[in-house]
Structure 1
């Protein structure tokens, strides 16, 4: 047997080569299977039985198969013969962004078991926790078996497939992980450094660049599968889209950065518009990918990315030729990135060998590109500094010239002043006499007005302050009642918790008890009562403040507030005034606005209070036929509040005076005349408008419009 064993082995090797079998020997190392693969493509999905019976497999002639983009699954077939001492041969597919990777493992009885991996499954379901796809081949020594692989992906199908021992595979992957770690460290440093500078200088170029660095880093790490492993391992639905989405974001951020950094609107106007068109196409790719059209989104992103890479080179070259120095940094950085992309692509198409340099050329080029752009941003600070110094020098020269002109004009003006002084001295004595007379008359008028205003204030202030105080005290009793109910509820819960009945029975009794005391409404009522007490106290303080100069109210905090909440809280406060009056509300969906909520609530309360008095004056108390209607609406810039009543209404003369300080139609002691004046000044303070429409005997409507977002006046 020993005599003929060498001959038998040679014969087996020859037979294996004839049949397309890959021989694993101890000297093989890591064996690329590219040229030993048979590929089957079909326009429709095929079953495994159909694939086994098919004669349409084509021999692959590339070390790393580049199968393009396919909407259906691609099948691969290969045969392995184990003539080595490897106990556990591993199949390694070094392309993490595959949606589905399914290996069909042959059994001795001729049947096949299948193992499914891919981005469609959670990461933890993989046997080996690595971004690449690693399968046990279960190939005993001195045996030959045929395997089938089913591959499906929305992205480009590039399949570096190899077979090796576990030791050699993990050693190689460890080196590759170290390279990816270096790339990640560079990205993090660039991100944090430029983010810090952005917070220091507040230049939008930096935030665009920071977004670009982050999205490029996530894209490159996503291609290597690390984002799926560490960031969202339980979200395969997002993983399928992530590389495309981050690729689109990085493209848009790069275009925005280029526009801002190179001032393309001034330095390359036509190219500036082209960049917007490319951004629009990337946005479409982003949106369609979000809606599940990953393959179309990938193809559109790939085409658009190629266009925008060339466009940025052209734009930066134009700007550089026009003498704007930042163009040099953009042109050189994108040239390097494009070179890295070309090397990476030539590797995929088999022009260049598949090795560490070609596999990581894109990441290395990205690091160099990001570093050069960071240098460009730093250089831009120096440019801005020089421009600022030149501007200051120019401003100083202008100031000196203006000073000279002013001195010359002062000489001329002094001569004219002397001439006019002679004329003015002649009439000065007569004017002084007239001025003294006017001052005396003015003092008498002011004193008369003060006494009249003071009389109106004294008569009405007691009533104005008494209303909110009465409302606060009226809320105490129901609040005490509700608190007592809650105390009883706590006691009941304690008794139930100490009882020996089952948990289910306890829960049932608790739910019955909550329904008995109407627990949900009780919470709402307590909240409203507490809010009403607070509003009543606040309103009392606001009335006292309102007695100061009307155009100068003390400032509260400026907040983003919901107007409907303010109206509702005001209705709670004014509830005692609304007895027998129907309140109709027609609220539209309103955005929150920037305002002083407390001051607006005072406006609503003043209008509602006047409306109730007008309704009662026309219909009588308890008539039950009065109606107060509150309607809201909005447009892109403002919100509008309509508050109308069917009260006595006003004639034209009264409507004109309604917002004047101390003007009132009420009897002495019933009002101060400050309410609508305060309302007018409050709305004016918000840069809004308030107007009144009224017909005598039919009712009154107040219309308030307030800007949604606006810098509120400080006066």
Structure 2
């Protein structure tokens, strides 16, 4: 009986499946045998067998590495010694920033039906990379790429996806020459065209979603910043911008779309954007978490972290990328730990936004941890482990936006509650104010009466103070007048005594002269006979009185009387020039005349060892109150005389130097310098204060220099003092030639 058609078809299908499985086993066995033979023929290197199922398998454990720090190898001699290469033990090799060149050697067997395969390196920050294939023991360049190479020099626009030019069942030995200014993570895959396109498209899609989230949050928070004008949003917007910019740079899109014509920028931009993201993130955390309010010490710690970021930036700009990456690793580690700790501590104090920040930062760190575990081989290399950092960063940004919104809502709620409470208090205060108005009016009336009474007492006291002040000023004037009168009396008494002492001998001489004249007059009435005898008597008289001596003595006595009178007149003129009581109004006077008259009146007070030197170089005629200005000169020069007299050890000749000179601004300076005892800084600061004196009790009123200061102010001038203990003192008076009042 013939078998049914379905039964025959079933058996035929089973046989076909059995034959297909057998062929697959034979092909795989052949491939492994061929791989083993090829490995033995080529220095026994491990060979990666590319199959349809191996598209997602990293080839890190099939790579042989040679680090050429001194750049001794090149394309012509690198194949001479394959024993220098070392087999890698991780699926994803990792290399720090190194000087020189790194060479990678790997072998691939194409066990697929695809006519071509690609080497896909899923890392964007490689400065220079060249792929060679070993043919007839020589290296043939297949493709050159890298983000430090201008796009027109690259063999293919899509960087780091190299066409292997390996037909099915063929085996190829390849060399990669790598030079990079950045740390290297080399997730390398052998893929066919379809798998490569899917990988690139999925990567672009995931990054596009991430970038869309960051851009949306950035625009949204900019809108909130404009609406609320809250500084928290400003710091967050800046942080979001630099975070997104850093991710754009790390993923390679910055080089591809923003600065493709400037490949040198990429050497610095990766580290710079990472540092700026870290700095702005810390600044946002300090402001958002109110760290200065809760834990001021942590602000100092975060300042150190920010300083480390700046050190990394400086190292990078100066060309030391190796140091820059080491510093930024420590800065990121310290900053991450501190942010987790501080957000937890502040959250425990009842600040709710801190918990949102803790969740956000934990999500971001979780992504970083997964990436690190993937790089060391603990977590497998999958789509999730590849793009988990984008996920963590997006979650961080979303939670931080939520935290900001919650913070604004909390502040708004607090503000509303505060307004309600303030309204309640305002109403209570309004009631209280109404109740207190009556009491306040009564108290205001009572207080007004008290103030009126106190004001009357104050006016009386003020009048008494003014009287006391007038009496003190008059006392100072009387003291100066008394001293001046004593000096004038002594000065006038000297020439008067000189005149008086000359009068008596002058009278005697005149009497003798008159007697001789009388004898001559007798000759007119005498007889001629007795005239000779009378003449002899006249001669005897002249010889007796010594007529020549008398004439000479009379001249000397008259000259002495004349000098005494002139001296007296000089003193009177000086006194009139000094006092000028009839000149209380502003007028033009000569300063030099005032100084000379003051010196005349003080001459009696000057000891014999004191020398006064005058150097008058100014024009001297100024608009002033002459009497008041002379009082200034009198007080200052008198103080200089007293300062010299108080010296314990005096020089052979002490001195006072009075000089005048014109200065810019249509002004003149009067300098009065002495060799007295000088004064210290404390006395200099108090010298113009009323009632301050360094003299003994009863000697001075302490108003002399205060009056001097006031008079100089009335002249719109300036008075300065330069002095040191034991080195004398110098008073510098600066006076305008034209008084501002005129």
* CA–CA distance in structure 2, aligned partners of residues 275 and 420 of structure 1: 58
Moved more, 416-425 or 313-322: 416-425
**Which residue does the alignment assign to 2:145?**
117
Q: SS at the partner of 2:84?
A: coil
* CA–CA distance in structure 1, aligned partners of residues 242 and 447 of structure 2: 74
Q: Please give the residue correspondences for 1:349-428 in structure 2 after superposition, counting only pairs within 5 Å.
A: 349-396=376-423, 398-400=425-427, 402-403=429-430, 406-407=433-434, 410-415=437-442
What's the offset of the Cα at 1:243? Answer: 2.0
**Which residue does the alignment assign to 1:203?**
230
Aligned residues of 1:344 and 1:359 also touching (Cα < 8 A) = yes
**Which residue does the alignment assign to 1:16?**
38
What's the offset of the Cα at 1:87? Answer: 2.5
Q: Please give the residue correspondences for 1:523-538 in structure 2 after superposition, counting only pairs within 5 Å.
A: none
* 2:650 is the alignment partner of 1:650: no
**CA gap 1:357/1:111 in 2 versus in 1, 3 angstroms:** closer
Aligned residues of 2:109 and 2:169 also touching (Cα < 8 A) = yes
**Which residue does the alignment assign to 2:350?**
323
**CA gap 1:694/1:51 in 2 versus in 1, 3 angstroms:** farther
Q: Please give the residue correspondences for 1:332-343 in structure 2 after superposition, counting only pairs within 5 Å.
A: 332-343=359-370
Indicate which of 104, 112, 130 corresponds to 1:76: 104
Aligned residues of 2:145 and 2:156 also touching (Cα < 8 A) = no
Indicate which of 87, 96, 110 corresponds to 2:115: 87
**CA gap 1:30/1:372 in 2 versus in 1, 3 angstroms:** closer
Aligned residues of 1:649 and 1:694 also touching (Cα < 8 A) = no
Q: Please give the residue correspondences for 1:450-461 in structure 2 after superposition, counting only pairs within 5 Å.
A: none
TM-score relative to the length of structure 1: 0.56
Indicate which of 16, 41, 56 corresponds to 2:67: 41
**Which residue does the alignment assign to 2:163?**
136
**Which residue does the alignment assign to 1:500?**
none
Cα deviation, 1:46-72, whole Å, max 9, x if unaligned, reads: 322453233221111222222344333
* CA–CA distance in structure 2, aligned partners of residues 261 and 224 of structure 1: 29
Indicate which of 48, 57, 65 corresponds to 2:93: 65
What's the offset of the Cα at 1:311? Answer: 0.7
Cα deviation, 1:208-267, whole Å, max 9, x if unaligned, reads: 111222222222222221111111111212112222111111111111111111111111
**Which residue does the alignment assign to 2:559?**
none
Cα deviation, 1:344-384, whole Å, max 9, x if unaligned, reads: 11011111111100001110011111101100000011111
What's the offset of the Cα at 1:306? Answer: 1.5
**CA gap 1:28/1:249 in 2 versus in 1, 3 angstroms:** closer
Indicate which of 151, 155, 176 corresponds to 1:127: 155
* CA–CA distance in structure 1, aligned partners of residues 32 and 304 of structure 2: 64
Aligned residues of 1:69 and 1:155 also touching (Cα < 8 A) = yes
* CA–CA distance in structure 1, aligned partners of residues 322 and 154 of structure 2: 25
**CA gap 1:695/1:126 in 2 versus in 1, 3 angstroms:** farther
Indicate which of 108, 123, 127 corresponds to 1:99: 127
* Largest Rg, 1 or 2: 2
TM-score relative to the length of structure 2: 0.54
Q: Please give the residue correspondences for 1:530-609 in structure 2 after superposition, counting only pairs within 5 Å.
A: none
**CA gap 1:419/1:34 in 2 versus in 1, 3 angstroms:** closer
* CA–CA distance in structure 1, aligned partners of residues 118 and 142 of structure 2: 15
Cα deviation, 1:562-593, whole Å, max 9, x if unaligned, reads: xxxxxxxxxxxxxxxxxxxxxxxxxxxxxxxx
* CA–CA distance in structure 1, aligned partners of residues 278 and 407 of structure 2: 22
Q: Please give the residue correspondences for 1:632-647 in structure 2 after superposition, counting only pairs within 5 Å.
A: none
**Which residue does the alignment assign to 1:610?**
none
The answer for unaligned runs of 5 or more in structure 1 is 426-645, 654-692, 699-715
Q: SS at the partner of 1:51?
A: coil
**CA gap 1:696/1:280 in 2 versus in 1, 3 angstroms:** same
Q: SS at the partner of 1:103?
A: strand
**Which residue does the alignment assign to 2:301?**
274
What's the offset of the Cα at 1:73? Answer: 2.3
The answer for unaligned runs of 5 or more in structure 2 is 1-22, 453-661, 670-732
Cα deviation, 1:277-310, whole Å, max 9, x if unaligned, reads: 2112112222322332222222211221111111
**Which residue does the alignment assign to 2:562?**
none
* CA–CA distance in structure 2, aligned partners of residues 192 and 270 of structure 1: 34
* 2:222 is the alignment partner of 1:192: no
**Which residue does the alignment assign to 2:534?**
none
Q: Please give the residue correspondences for 1:672-691 in structure 2 after superposition, counting only pairs within 5 Å.
A: none
Aligned residues of 2:31 and 2:111 also touching (Cα < 8 A) = no
Aligned residues of 2:55 and 2:191 also touching (Cα < 8 A) = yes
Q: SS at the partner of 2:91?
A: coil
**CA gap 1:412/1:244 in 2 versus in 1, 3 angstroms:** same
**CA gap 1:218/1:415 in 2 versus in 1, 3 angstroms:** closer
Aligned residues of 1:39 and 1:59 also touching (Cα < 8 A) = yes
Q: SS at the partner of 1:375?
A: helix
What's the offset of the Cα at 1:101? Answer: 1.2
* CA–CA distance in structure 2, aligned partners of residues 404 and 26 of structure 1: 88
* CA–CA distance in structure 2, aligned partners of residues 292 and 370 of structure 1: 33
**CA gap 1:246/1:410 in 2 versus in 1, 3 angstroms:** same
* CA–CA distance in structure 2, aligned partners of residues 223 and 250 of structure 1: 12
Corresponding pairs, count: 436
What's the offset of the Cα at 1:31? Answer: 5.2
* CA–CA distance in structure 1, aligned partners of residues 169 and 327 of structure 2: 49
CA RMSD across the alignment: 3.4
Moved more, 334-343 or 68-77: 68-77
Q: Please give the residue correspondences for 1:154-553 in structure 2 after superposition, counting only pairs within 5 Å.
A: 154-396=181-423, 398-400=425-427, 402-403=429-430, 406-407=433-434, 410-415=437-442
Q: SS at the partner of 1:121?
A: coil
